Chain A
């Protein structure tokens, strides 16, 4: 797919995952999409496993950010 890397320039060569924990309701939508990066544990809190995920995960991390029902995930880069 040609669109795959089209948005990459927007992020430069790094991506930083920031979660607004006041908004997050721990529904684990993000974990369903990118479990390498987002994990809701049995204590019901969300843990960000990789704050600067490698490029091969960026598509799924963006997908997770877009699908978060609380819009709690921001990506900086």
Chain B
């Protein structure tokens, strides 16, 4: 949509399911509170909704740069309105774009803006884009990709402040330099939307904390960007911000809730242990990641080479493969995702690497 290629209507949810599902929409109202004992969700129009079972899926909101709220031309990107506002700024003639943060959102914004011929500077305090997730070598590949497409990539430097008189004029960086800008897009991560659950008695810690089956309290489950749960496959409590994950976890949580309603006690059967999967399109590259790489994981190239247009790498620790990432090799990631679910070992991956000559 940011490139103008998609009309807003195309993003609408597939229709035609409502009447079959027998559900009531309450659009334009916000949940403001939860009472676990009374089994009631409070709404901002004063009403209270009683529930037998509750699914919390309030997602997350983009983190903002403090002190920029009143400055025109500074945007975050999450909703359709956000995209429309950025689009409108471009249509109104914005030409010099600063992208704050070189995570997946920032990198995609930078790519879409470059494809429209805008000047783009991308600022990232880490030594390489995504280096905390993907390591410095793969991070460097992403930085080079953006440089090759004409993005001015500034690494290892944070944003000191955004300056302008009512409207953004320049971005001041921590190294004392400034970058002129008429459009700033901030992509520095998200915060789970749990404000309405404060004081409800649910455990909140960077998300709604669930048990290993996605249950957060009796009769309450959570799913998607807002939910944190222990994933035994990775031995880690995680919150995943991926689209496919939101759908998958929602289905799991719904089944879990129904089982709770039916008094099912064999909760082990409901342990939620997915291999998260994510993709990101940047220019002509399709980056796909299955699994959950850790910052200190080993990394090995298992197909192609890092300076190729297509390659595949694996991450691992303690003889265990934690993740597989590929650029323009989507099918491989899908296959490895299955292998990861079946307990792919590091030595198997090394064999694959040897077989492909990498």
- Residues of chain A having any CB pair with chain B under 8 Å: 6-7, 25-29, 31-32, 35, 39-42, 44, 66-67, 69, 71
Contact = CB atoms under 8 A, between A and B. Distances in A.
A40 B138 CA distance: 24
Interface in B52-92: none
Interface in B298-352: 328-334, 337
B167 interface: no
Contacts of A31: 331, 334
B282 to A, nearest CB: 13
Contact of A42 (B14, B244, B247, B331): B331
B194 interface: no
Contacts of B14: 66, 71
B10 A44 contact: no
Given A26-B286, A32-B337, A40 B330 contact: yes
Majority DSSP secondary structure for residues of B touching A: helix
Given A28-B288, A31-B331, 20 more contacts: A7-B20, A26-B286, A26-B330, A27-B279, A27-B286, A28-B330, A28-B331, A28-B333, A28-B334, A32-B277, A32-B337, A35-B334, A39-B331, A40-B331, A40-B334, A42-B331, A42-B332, A44-B328, A66-B14, A67-B244
B78 to A, nearest CB: 17
Contact of B288 (A27, A39, A41): A27
Contact of A27 (B10, B20, B330, B332): B330
Contacts of A40: 330-331, 334
A26 B279 CA distance: 11
Contacts of B281: 25, 27
A42 B329 contact: yes
A66 to B, nearest CB: 6
Interface of B: 10, 14, 20, 243-244, 247, 277, 279, 281, 286, 288, 328-334, 337
Nearest to A42: B331
Contacts of A32: 244, 277, 334, 337
Contact of A41 (B286, B331, B337): B331
Given A41-B331, A42-B329, A29 B244 contact: yes
Contacts of B286: 25-27
B71 to A, nearest CB: 33
Residue of B277, B281, B334 with most partner-chain A CB within 10 A: B334
A44 B332 CA distance: 10
B244 A6 contact: no
